[in-house]
Amino acid sequence: MAFFSKSFFTIAVLLSLLSCTAHGQLSPNFYSNSCPNLESIVGSVMSQITSRNPSMAAAILRLFFHDCFVNGCDASLLLDDGPVVSEKRAPPNLSVRGYEVIDAIKSRVEAACRGQVSCADILALAARDSVRLLGGPSWSVPLGRTDSTSASLNVDLPGPDSNIGGLIKAFNDKGLDARDLTALSGAHTIGQATCGIFRNRIYNDANIDRNYAFLRQQTCPMGAGPNFNLAPLDATSPNRFDNAYYKNLVKRKGLLHSDQELFNNGPTDWLVRLYSRNPAAFANDFANAMIKVGNLSPSTGWSGTRRSNCRSVKFSSRY
């Protein structure tokens, strides 16, 4: 009888530990048995896509941010209209793109290990590889997220006209501090913005280099439509993930008002100076901040859903 009690206790402890891991913990080794080639599959597809079109790296990185900032990293932004109203309808998401890239990766992953990997984890890995493939840092991505079966149009992302106070508050509300904000804004070292997003800055903002403003005005006339033209967020090295974004801010050459607010006699000026002089400090802080973003309220556990089609809740399985 004593032997039975001891064995039962040991089993109960093991089950409890496994339950805690399944319900609350993300781990880089989550798929080591169920889908051991996952990271190589994601990296291969991303490499092919970014070699043909480097701008897709910025698109995937933005897709990841926009997904995680609404109820956590749960792939809810990937859902099309159906049983739920798609988050793609929210104004900040109207210009988000890259969904077909995640579809392509998901198709390859499903062929290798059907029903094992969530869309949320695929997006997290693709975002990491977007940075790595353009010369930025890499990091070990914690995995084990599940996919949402709902969506929310309450998209509380800070806009391009936000001031430093609003930016810090928006990030603090997500458990991210001013250092995370400044490092994550470095994602704007790649990517582009449409004329309508930065027009007010290049014509009316006082904290801007006048020659830079004049240059941008040549392709963004006052009377043009909002999507008249595109400009690189970092004109120095638009297809390379480096610290040039911060060097531009020091010269008052940030494309967006919210960018330049990071260097405008405020609390983040010192971080901008640090990153502009020390690319290793930027790379380290960016990687750490990305891990924190990936940990924003992730859905985990045995009861979670893995969508086999990232666009629909109709095709899903349970852990």
User: Which residues are known catalytic residues?
Assistant: 66
Question: Nearest Cα to 249, choosing from 159, 183, 171?
Answer: 183
Task: Identify whether the C-beta of residue 226 lies closer than 8 Å to the C-beta of residue 194.
Answer: yes
Q: Which helix (H) or strand (E) holds 19?
A: helix 2-24
Other C-beta atoms lying within 10 Å of the C-beta of residue 162:
17
| Cα–Cα distance measured from residue 168 to residue 296, given in angstroms and rounded to the nearest whole number | 17
In whole angstroms, what is the distance from residue 279 CA to residue 105 CA? 31
Coarse DSSP helix, strand, coil percentages of the chain, rounded to the nearest 5 percent: 55, 5, 45
Please calculate the CA angle 158-291-38 and round it to the nearest 5 degrees: 120
Assign 233 to helix, strand or coil: coil
Query: Which own/partner contact pairs does 276-284 have at CB distance under 8 Å and 24+ positions apart?
Result: 276/243, 276/246, 276/247, 276/249, 276/250, 278/243, 279/242, 279/243, 282/183, 282/186, 282/243, 282/246, 283/136, 283/137, 284/137
* Coil, strand or helix at 194: strand
Nearest to 202 by CA among 228, 186, 221: 221
Beta strands per DSSP E along 92-232: 192-194, 230-232
